[in-house]
């Protein structure tokens, strides 16, 4: 299938080698990647996984590091990987608005070709998505026609490394309401926020929010994506594997068993291509 994976993660090669040192100074990184068995990947490996899944392209994000040098190293690697990929990789930059001068880091990444910011974990980094820092970030994204990818944390269910620290469904709705027209992706099926689309005032307020399927098979039952499509409409759901945590090929196979052909084609590529094309990417 020709398509697009809208949620993948890469690290700079030096960050794979420096995993232990980074973990010592970054609590959230230590929680998620301190174990040497936790999967990390570079661009070559992602491109191979896309080929195995018969996918054309992917949106690539990094990690919400605490410290500026790690953010800059990661962003520069992602932008270069995208540049040499022949259009197969669409890069998102990561910033930490809790740090002084974060906008300089953001603009540096934009100058290198970033098409948005994410995966955003504001509470892990110590900034308020509804406060001054969050509003400045959303304002920058809206002015520059960028996409924001939010880590959405489901408030119930089993615990796992990295579960908390993103935004809750209520925060997602509040941010989207405050910044109408700003395209945003709510990762991990929006942590249940899609349920509230059944309220007419919520549906109209957050009509620029998309929902990705990243890690769905680890969180929800096999009918979850089909129900998400029913709630949101097929045009607002994006296939995401959360690679390297999960295999794009296997996740595509799971969706193929849930969705009819035209819906599968939209979810697994058409919607993401349109989203990023509308925002100046392709």
Contact status, residue 135 vs residue 178, Cβ threshold 8 Å: yes
The structure's pTM equals 0.95
pLDDT at residue number 215: 86
Question: Kind and range of the H or E element at 216?
Answer: helix 216-219
- Mean pLDDT for 109-117 is 98
pLDDT in tens, 45-66: 999 999 999 999 999 999 999 9
DSSP state of 214: T
C-alpha span between 69 and 105 (Å, rounded)? 10
Q: Is the peptide bond before 206 cis (omega within 30 degrees of 0)?
A: no
**Rounded to whole angstroms, how far apart are CA atoms 113 and 3?**
22
Give the chain's domain count: 1
Kindly state the average pLDDT of the residues 90-115. 97
What are the pLDDT digits (tens) for 181-235? 999 999 999 999 999 999 999 998 899 999 999 988 888 888 999 999 999 999 9
Average pLDDT, the chain: 94
The domain spanning residue 140 has which CATH number? 3.20.20.140
Query: What phi and psi, each to the nearest 5 degrees, are found at residue 11?
Result: -130, 155
Q: Is the sign of the CA dihedral 175, 176, 178, 179 positive or negative? A: positive
Q: What domain range includes position 155?
A: 4-278
- Are 94 and 55 spatial neighbours (Cβ–Cβ below 8 Å)? no
Helix (H), strand (E) counts: the chain? 15, 8
Q: What is the mean pLDDT of residues 32-43?
A: 96
pLDDT of 1 reads: 54
At residue 271, the pLDDT reads 96
Distance CA 213, CA 266 (A): 13
Which pLDDT score, from 0 to 100, does residue 154 have? Answer: 82
Note the residue count of the chain. 282
Beta-carbon contacts of 199 under 8 Å, excluding residues fewer than 6 positions away, are none
| Token digits of residue 147 | 């996409």
pLDDT at 62: 95
Beta bridge partners, 79, equal none
Radius of gyration of the chain from its Cα atoms, rounded to whole angstroms: 17
Residue 90 has pLDDT above 50, yes or no: yes
The terminus-to-terminus CA distance of the chain in angstroms comes to: 19
Across the range 238-263, mean pLDDT stands at: 95
115-161 pLDDT, tens digit each: 999 999 999 999 999 999 999 999 999 999 999 999 998 888 887 77
Comparison of pLDDT for 269 and 162, the residue scoring more: 269
Percent of the chain with pLDDT over 90: 88
């Amino acid at each position: 299938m020709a398509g697009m994976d809208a949620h993948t993660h890469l690290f700079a090669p030096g960050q794979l080698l420096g995993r232990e040192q980074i973990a010592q100074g970054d609590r959230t990184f230590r929680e998620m990647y301190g174990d040497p068995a936790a999967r990390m990947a570079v661009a070559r490996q992602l491109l191979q996984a896309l080929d195995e899944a018969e996918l054309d392209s992917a949106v690539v994000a990094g990690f919400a590091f605490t410290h500026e040098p790690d953010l800059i190293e990661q962003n520069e690697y992602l932008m270069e990987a995208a540049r040499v990929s022949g259009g197969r990789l669409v890069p998102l930059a990561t910033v930490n608005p809790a740090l002084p001068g974060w906008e300089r880091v953001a603009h540096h990444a934009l100058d290198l070709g970033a098409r948005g910011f994410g995966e955003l974990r504001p509470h892990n980094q110590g900034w308020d998505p509804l406060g001054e820092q969050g509003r400045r970030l959303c304002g920058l994204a809206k002015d520059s026609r960028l996409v924001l990818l939010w880590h959405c944390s489901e408030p119930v269910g089993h615990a796992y490394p990295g579960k908390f620290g993103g935004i809750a469904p209520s925060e997602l709705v509040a941010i989207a309401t405050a910044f109408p027209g700003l395209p945003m992706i709510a990762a991990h099926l929006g942590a249940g926020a899609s349920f509230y689309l059944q309220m007419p005032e919520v549906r109209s307020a957050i009509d620029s929010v998309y929902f990705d399927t990243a890690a769905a098979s680890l969180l929800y039952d096999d009918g979850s994506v089909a129900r998400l499509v029913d709630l949101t409409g097929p045009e607002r759901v994006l296939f995401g594997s959360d690679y390297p945590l999960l295999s794009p090929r296997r996740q595509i196979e799971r969706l193929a068993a849930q969705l009819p052909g035209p819906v599968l084609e939209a979810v697994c590529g058409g919607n993401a291509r349109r989203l990023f094309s509308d925002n100046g990417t392709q």
